[in-house]
Structure 1
Amino acid sequence: MTSKMGMIRLFICLGVILHIGALFSSATSPGIQAVFNHTYSGSVSEGNDIIYPFTHNTSNVPYRKLRLSAGFEAVFNQTYSGSVSEGNDMIYAFIHNTSKETAIRFHFLSDDAVPDFPILVVVKQPRSVFSWTVPYVSPDGKKYGSVSKTLCPDSSNLNASVEETIIVVVSTSSAIEVNFTLTGMFVDDFNLQSDTDITFSSDPSSPQFYQYEFPEGVNMVLVRAKSPNDTCAYFSVQKAECPIFEDVSTVRYNAGIFQTMTLQAAITVTRDKYKSGRFYVVMVVHSNDDRCENDYKTFTPLEAQYTGLSERTKIVTLRVEHTLEKYWKPVVVTLVVLIAIAILSFVIIFAVPVLIRKMAKSCARAVDSQEESIQADANENNIEATGNTEVVFVSNLSTKKFEKMEKKYNTYVWDIVTVSVFYALPVVQLVVTYQVVTNVTGNQDSCYYNFLCAKPYSWFSAYNNVYSNVGYVVLGFVFLVLVGIKHYNRVHNNELGIHKHYSLLYALGFALIMEGVMSASYHVCPNRANFQFDTSYMYMIACLGILTMYQKRHTDITASANKSFALIILIIFTGFLGMVFIGSLVFYIIFFFVHMLTYIGLSAFMYCSGTTPDTDVFFFKRIIGLYKKAFAVCKSEFYVCKCVSKSEVSNHLARGRVVPLIVGFLVNFALGALGIATKPLDFATHLLFIMIVNMVLYMLFYLFMKGMCGENVLPSFLLLVLTIALWGTAGSFFMKTNSGWQDSAAESREKNADCSIMGFYDAHDIWHLISAFALFVSFVYLLLLDDDLDQTPQKDIPVF
Structure 2
Amino acid sequence: MASRSSWKSRLKRSRLRAPGWTRPGLAALFWLCVTQSVCGAGAAKAVMQKDAEFDVTYNDTVTSVNQTTYAFNHTISRNKTEGVRVTVDVLEQTLEAPILFVVRQKQAVMSFQVPLILRGLYQRKYPYKHVGRTLCQPPTRAASETQYFFVDVSTLSSHRTNYQLRVSRVESFTLQTDKKFSFTASPSQPQFFKYVFPDGMDTVIVKVNSDVNFPCSVMSVQDIQCPVYDLDNNVGFIGMYQTMTKKGAITVQRKDFPSNSFYVVVVVKTEDEACGGPLRFYPLQPDELIDAGNRTKDLDVLVSPAINSEKYVIGMLFCLGIFLSFYVVTLLVACMENKRLKRREMYENAPDMSPAETGKTPASPYEYGSFADNGSTLSSEAVTDSATSTDNNYGYLGQEPFKRRPFLSHLHHVAVRIERSLDSVARSRQESLSSVEEDDYDTLDDIDSDKNIVRTKKYLCVSDLARKDKRVLSKKYQIYFWNIATIAVFYALPVIQLVITYQTVVNVTGNQDICYYNFLCAHPLGALSAFNNILSNLGYVMLGLLFLLIVLKRDVIHNRALVRNDLNALECGIPKHFGVYYAMGTALMMEGLLSACYHVCPNYTNFQFDTSFMYMIAGLCMLKLYQKRHPDINASAYTAYACLAGVIFFSVLGVVFGRGNMVFWIVFSVIHILATMFLSTQLYYMGRWRLDAGILRRIVYVIYTDCIRQCSGPMYIDRMVLLVMGNIVNWSLAAYGLIERPNDFASYLLAIAICNLLLYFAFYIIMKLRSGERIKCLPLVCILFTAVVWGFALYFFFQGLSTWQKTPAESREHNRDCILLSFFDDHDIWHFLSSIAMFGSFLVLLTMDDDLDTVQRDKIFVF
The TM-score normalised by the length of structure 2 is 0.78
| Secondary structure at the counterpart of residue 684 of structure 1 | helix
Measured after TM superposition, the shift of residue 368 of structure 1 is 4.0
Distance 1:629 1:701, change over 3 A: farther
1:456 pairs with 2:434: no
2:159 to 173, 176, 182: 176
1:267 pairs with 2:250: yes
- The aligned residue for residue 722 of structure 1 is 785
| Secondary structure at the counterpart of residue 640 of structure 2 | helix
1:445 pairs with 2:445: no
- The aligned residue for residue 111 of structure 1 is 91
- The aligned residue for residue 224 of structure 2 is 240
1:552 pairs with 2:637: no
1:524 pairs with 2:615: no
| Secondary structure at the counterpart of residue 572 of structure 1 | helix
1:688 pairs with 2:666: no
- The aligned residue for residue 562 of structure 1 is 638
2:102 to 107, 114, 122: 122
Aligned residues: 729
Measured after TM superposition, the shift of residue 482 of structure 1 is 0.7
How big is each residue's C-alpha offset from its partner over 1:230-251, in whole Å with a ceiling of 9 and x where there is no partner? 2112210000111111122221
- The aligned residue for residue 83 of structure 1 is 61
- The aligned residue for residue 334 of structure 1 is 319
- The aligned residue for residue 766 of structure 2 is 704
Q: 1:195, 1:250 → 2: CA distance?
A: 29
Mapped contact 1:193–1:212 kept (Cα < 8 A): yes
Q: Which amino acid aligns with 2:127?
A: K
Q: Which amino acid aligns with 1:567?
A: C
How big is each residue's C-alpha offset from its partner over 1:421-445, in whole Å with a ceiling of 9 and x where there is no partner? 1111111111111110111000111
2:493 to 425, 429, 432: 425
1:141 pairs with 2:129: no
Mapped contact 2:32–2:44 kept (Cα < 8 A): no
| Bigger shift: residues 339-348 or 260-269 | 339-348
User: Identity of paired residues, percent?
Assistant: 37
Distance 1:369 1:269, change over 3 A: closer
Mapped contact 1:84–1:179 kept (Cα < 8 A): yes
| Secondary structure at the counterpart of residue 144 of structure 2 | coil
1:370 pairs with 2:350: no
1:739 pairs with 2:802: yes
Q: 1:544, 1:79 → 2: CA distance?
A: 75
How big is each residue's C-alpha offset from its partner over 1:52-75, in whole Å with a ceiling of 9 and x where there is no partner? 9456568xx743222123x33221
Distance 1:360 1:686, change over 3 A: farther
Q: 1:155, 1:387 → 2: CA distance?
A: 87
Q: Which amino acid aligns with 2:827?
A: H
Mapped contact 1:604–1:626 kept (Cα < 8 A): no
Q: 2:773, 2:693 → 1: CA distance?
A: 36
Measured after TM superposition, the shift of residue 663 of structure 1 is 4.1
Q: 1:262, 1:387 → 2: CA distance?
A: 63
Distance 1:237 1:620, change over 3 A: farther
CA RMSD, Structure 1 to Structure 2 (Å): 3.3
Distance 1:717 1:622, change over 3 A: farther
Q: 1:468, 1:627 → 2: CA distance?
A: 56
Q: 2:170, 2:460 → 1: CA distance?
A: 85
2:47 to 58, 68, 76: 68
Measured after TM superposition, the shift of residue 599 of structure 1 is 3.4
- The aligned residue for residue 794 of structure 1 is 857
1:344 to 307, 315, 329: 329
Mapped contact 1:439–1:459 kept (Cα < 8 A): yes
Mapped contact 2:461–2:857 kept (Cα < 8 A): yes
Distance 1:353 1:574, change over 3 A: farther
1:212 to 173, 176, 195: 195
Measured after TM superposition, the shift of residue 669 of structure 1 is 3.9
| Bigger shift: residues 234-243 or 785-794 | 785-794
Q: Which amino acid aligns with 1:709?
A: S
Unaligned runs of 5+ in 2: 12-30, 345-386, 403-452, 563-568
Distance 1:618 1:290, change over 3 A: closer
Mapped contact 2:223–2:257 kept (Cα < 8 A): yes
Distance 1:389 1:590, change over 3 A: same
2:669 to 578, 592, 615: 592
Distance 1:89 1:404, change over 3 A: same
Measured after TM superposition, the shift of residue 189 of structure 1 is 0.5
- The aligned residue for residue 646 of structure 1 is none
Distance 1:76 1:626, change over 3 A: farther
Distance 1:206 1:623, change over 3 A: farther
Q: 1:353, 1:297 → 2: CA distance?
A: 73
- The aligned residue for residue 478 of structure 2 is 410
| Secondary structure at the counterpart of residue 444 of structure 1 | coil
Q: 2:601, 2:479 → 1: CA distance?
A: 34
Distance 1:427 1:388, change over 3 A: closer
- The aligned residue for residue 763 of structure 1 is 826
Q: 2:514, 2:461 → 1: CA distance?
A: 56
Q: Which amino acid aligns with 1:68?
A: V
Measured after TM superposition, the shift of residue 363 of structure 1 is 7.6
Q: 2:526, 2:152 → 1: CA distance?
A: 47
Q: Which amino acid aligns with 2:246?
A: L
Measured after TM superposition, the shift of residue 328 of structure 1 is 1.0
| Secondary structure at the counterpart of residue 692 of structure 1 | helix
Measured after TM superposition, the shift of residue 746 of structure 1 is 1.3
Q: 1:432, 1:688 → 2: CA distance?
A: 27
| Secondary structure at the counterpart of residue 580 of structure 2 | helix
Point out the structure with max Rg over C-alpha.
Answer: 2
Mapped contact 1:56–1:63 kept (Cα < 8 A): no
| Bigger shift: residues 666-675 or 204-213 | 666-675
Distance 1:728 1:302, change over 3 A: farther
1:496 to 554, 572, 593: 572
| Bigger shift: residues 719-728 or 584-593 | 584-593
| Secondary structure at the counterpart of residue 122 of structure 1 | strand
Measured after TM superposition, the shift of residue 466 of structure 1 is 1.3
How big is each residue's C-alpha offset from its partner over 1:445-496, in whole Å with a ceiling of 9 and x where there is no partner? 1111111111111111111111111111111111111111111111243322
- The aligned residue for residue 539 of structure 2 is 471
Mapped contact 1:85–1:173 kept (Cα < 8 A): yes
Q: 2:639, 2:338 → 1: CA distance?
A: 34
Mapped contact 2:90–2:114 kept (Cα < 8 A): yes
Q: Which amino acid aligns with 2:628?
A: K
How big is each residue's C-alpha offset from its partner over 1:61-112, in whole Å with a ceiling of 9 and x where there is no partner? 743222123x332211111110111121112122221143311001011122
- The aligned residue for residue 395 of structure 1 is 463
Q: Which amino acid aligns with 1:257?
A: M
| Bigger shift: residues 495-504 or 160-169 | 160-169
2:811 to 735, 743, 748: 748
Measured after TM superposition, the shift of residue 268 of structure 1 is 0.5
Measured after TM superposition, the shift of residue 600 of structure 1 is 4.2
Larger helix percent:
2
Q: 1:284, 1:319 → 2: CA distance?
A: 16
Distance 1:689 1:515, change over 3 A: same
Q: Which amino acid aligns with 2:237?
A: Y
For residues 227-306 of structure 1, what are the structure 2 equivalents within 5 Å? 227-229=210-212, 230-254=214-238, 256-293=239-276, 303-305=288-290
- The aligned residue for residue 379 of structure 1 is none
How big is each residue's C-alpha offset from its partner over 1:381-438, in whole Å with a ceiling of 9 and x where there is no partner? xxxx999822211111111111111111111111111111111111111111111011
How big is each residue's C-alpha offset from its partner over 1:651-687, in whole Å with a ceiling of 9 and x where there is no partner? 94345x5545444444434433333343211111111
Q: 1:295, 1:446 → 2: CA distance?
A: 21
Distance 1:113 1:387, change over 3 A: closer
